[in-house]
Each structure stands twice: as structure tokens, then as C-alpha cells.
Chains A and B, each alone.
Chain A
Amino acid sequence: MISIKQVGKWYGSFHVLADCTTQVAKGEVVVVCGPSGSGKSTLIKCVNGLEPFQEGEIVVDGVSVGDPKTDLPKLRSKVGMVFQHFELFPHMSVMQNLTLAQIKVLRRTPEAAADKGLKLLERVGLGAHKDKFPGQLSGGQQQRVAIARALCMDPIAMLFDEPTSALDPEMINEVLDVMVALAKDGMTMMVVTHEMGFARRVAHRVIFMDGGRIVEDAKKDEFFGTPRSERAQQFLSKILQH
């Protein structure tokens, strides 16, 4: 489904990503972890073309992301993305947030879009809030709406960029529960996160990045059991304290 081959990226002279190679199969849940500055957010933004890359190749569902002839908006409409700071559009109501892209990109009728939006809103447990504005919702609620917004586009894969890092501790679980349910439904997911509990529950594979490189790429049990690299071991021991 998602294939990343020898991807390299520079910001000016700063080498952000180096020789990154991995893949995510249909229905797989892959967790990407690593210290700050390891390039994990950058890598995931390269997958749907939000960040350009200079070397290597990324192919999503048969479409090459780096190819200048690719219709990026069309590709992005098939891949959902959830951001650390939720990024709901504050000047629009929840329902408008959910239906905007359905109407403008997928050309659905407003009624069909509203139907879909409401259904997904209920799926994340927020059906009653459809006419509220993002500023009136808590962080956890906003993030769940953001997930619903991405799901409204019927994506073939979902990308998550540190979805719970900006949330107060009490709200992290309500969002993780939605993500776990999504994984159990068979969604292909690539998740950048520090939440190792989530990884242990639903991930198939775990990728560890450091300094722009993929240092460790193993099946979940192997990764948590006996990680091969010393760096991954250090990292794990630090974050698994709590």
C-alpha cells in the first residue's frame, strides 16, 4: 500500500532524512517512534506530499508521490491525515469542517456529505456536537472530530502525526480508543507517536528513527522483546518508565 524507498531530504544544508526504506501493507498498523528531531514527522509528511523530498521514491497505492505529474490533491483525498494540533478550521462549525472537502474535492452533494459526516461523528462519539465550533470543544473532542473529518473522505490509509502529544493526560485515552477501534476495523495506519501502550495493543510493526535514519524496523513482539540496536534500547528504557 505505502512503499518508501531510500528517501532522502535536506532543509538547505541540513540532512533531515537519510536513506529511509520501509513499507506498510494493506491493513497493517505501523508505529513510528524516536526522539525529537529524528525526522519522524517529516517522513510522514512526505508520504502524502506535504513535504517535498529530494532523493528516493514513495509510492502510495500505485501512485508515485514524488512524480511531478502526479495529481497531489487527488492522492491526498485518498489518504487521511491527523495532526498534532488537530487543525480544525476554527471559522467553520464541526459539520462544515466535515463536509467541506467532501463537497469540494469528492463532489458529493451537500446532503450526502452531511449524512456521512453525522455518521462518522457518531462513530467517534460526538454526534451531539455537530453544530458547535471548534473553539467550544475540548482538545480530545477536537482531535476526534479531526479523525472523523479525515474518515469522511473514505481513505485507503490514515496517517497520524503525534495525535495525542498536545492533549491533556485525561483526554489521551478517548482519542486512543478511537484509533484502536479503527485499527481493529482493518484500516491501514502509519502512526507517529510516543504512546507505546497503543503500539503494544494494535501495532503490527514498530519503526524506530534517530537522526533522520530508520534504525530499527521490526515486528511488534520482536521490537519490545529484544530490540537489536542499542539506541532503540536506550529510548525504550527511557519512555517505558511510566
Chain B
Amino acid sequence: MLAGFDFDVIQRSYPYLFEQGMTFTLTLTALAMVGGVVFGTALAMMRLSSFVPLATLAGSYVNLMRSVPLVLVIFWFYFLVPWIGGWLLGAGNTIQVGAFHSAVITFTMFEAAYYCEIMRAGIQSIPRGQVWSAYALGLNYWQAMARVVLPQAFRNMLPVLLTQTIILFQDTSLVYVISATDFFGAAVKVANRDYRLIEMYSFVAVVYFVISYSLSALVRRFQERIAVIR
């Protein structure tokens, strides 16, 4: 079995796998993380607001995203974004949106629902007294959120946010279904071209494992250092 293992094909495809594939994966992860956290925090604030239509809207969006498979959401945005883009730009038809941009939008919108629930738990865990004392000093809602509540909520939830990002990193492999060339997609292409399925897929599994495991270990160690002392 291992006699015919062709390590060479892995070595030869290093540039393609990492410069093309891994770059795609890491860029997508980074962009979706930032966009997702920002949008997710906004959604959390909407869900917690006392303006009921806004809270309901945000709540429905989050529940919808969490009830449907990511693969389906990827397809949705892949077909929907060109139409919406065309409508926004008045083109009357679809515009061209590549797989990468479609994926960035998809993952940002999808992960925002998950980041929202994390931030919502974080915001709700801040004692009401903090909000009261901020208001008592004359700060308004936005100042109280920006200066007192969100910094604490974010710091408390950072480990959970990072863990969710590691999940996001693994989920990006699903862009395979729209034929995007992320790390996994690149490996599949090489595997099919050189007929070296075992080598490529095993290698990909090992790389994903090493990266995810190391990041999780880092988060665990990080967790102790940044807890806000009450």
C-alpha cells in the first residue's frame, strides 16, 4: 500500500497548492472573519434593541442562516449576487461575479449569524450596572456601547470568536461546490490531473489537521491571558 506512495507529486505541486490554493483559503477566511464579526455584532445589537421590528428582522435572519446547510447558502449567493448586482447597477441582467467574490459575500453573511449569537451572549453577560453607570455619567446609548459594553463583551468572547473562526477556516473547503480553487480545490485538481488521489487527499487532511489543531491549542493558551479581571 505505502510502497507506491508518491511523495514527489506533493512536492511538485507545493507552489500551486500553497501560493494559489492556501492563499485563497486564508484570504477568504480573514475577510469573512472581519466582515462576519462586524456584521454579526451589528445583528446582535439589533436583536437586543427594544425596537421590535428591528429585533424580529435580525432574529429571523439569524435563524434562517442557522437552519439551512452552508452548501445551499453557497449556491444561493452564487446565483443571487449577480442578479442583485445587476439590479443595483441598473444593468437589467446579471453582472459577472467571480467565485471568490461570491464566496466572500457568502461566508461573511453566513458566519455573521454565528458571530451574532456569540456577541449577543457576550453583550448579555455584561452586568446591567455597567450600562447604568455609563448612562448615569451622561453617556448616550452609542457611547455606552462603544466605550463600555462592546469592549468588554468582545474581550470576554474572544476565545469563542476565535474558535468559530477555526470552524470558518475548515468550512471554506466547501467552495469546492462552485469550483473555486481554494487549498482543497487545488489539491483535487492536482489529484485528478496526475491520478494521485491517495497522496493528495491524505496530504490535504494532514495540513488542515496541523493548522486547525495548532490554532485551537493557541486559543486555549490565549484564553487564560486575556480574561478581564472583575
Contacts and interface: CB of A to CB of B under 8 A. Distances in A.
A74 B137 CA distance: 9
Contacts of B138: 73-78, 101, 105-106, 153
A136 B229 CA distance: 8
Interface of chain B: mostly helix, strand, loop or mixed: helix
A224 interface: no
Interface residues of A, number: 33
A50 B230 contact: no
B66 to A, nearest CB: 30
A80 B133 CA distance: 10
Contacts of B132: 45, 50, 81, 83, 87
B147 A100 contact: yes
A198 interface: no
A72 B138 CA distance: 8
Contacts of A78: 138
B140 A85 contact: no
Interface in A136-164: 136, 146, 149-150, 153
Interface string B133-161: 11111111001000110011001000000
A193 interface: no
A109 B130 CA distance: 24
B230 A90 contact: yes
A89 interface: yes
Contacts, number: 76
A133 B145 CA distance: 20
How many interface residues does chain B have, given as a range? 20 to 34
B229 A150 contact: no
A104 interface: yes
A188 interface: no
A102 to B, nearest CB: 9
A76 B136 contact: yes
Contacts of A74: 138
A2 to B, nearest CB: 15
B133 A83 contact: yes
A73 B142 CA distance: 11
B4 interface: no
Given A83-B129, A83-B132, A90 B229 contact: yes
Contacts of A150: 136-137
A49 to B, nearest CB: 8
A91 interface: yes
Nearest to B133: A87
B3 interface: no
A186 interface: no
Contact of A50 (B135, B140, B155): B135
Nearest to A45: B132
Contacts of B2: none
A137 to B, nearest CB: 11
A91 B134 CA distance: 13
A81 B136 contact: yes
A73 B139 contact: yes
Given A87-B130, A91-B152, A101 B228 contact: no
22 contacts: A45-B132, A50-B135, A72-B135, A76-B135, A79-B136, A80-B136, A81-B132, A81-B136, A83-B132, A83-B136, A89-B130, A100-B147, A101-B137, A101-B138, A101-B139, A104-B147, A105-B139, A105-B143, A135-B228, A146-B133, A150-B136, A153-B137
10 residue pairs, one from A and one from B, having the closest CB atoms: A77-B138, A135-B229, A87-B133, A101-B137, A81-B136, A105-B138, A87-B129, A76-B138, A73-B140, A73-B138
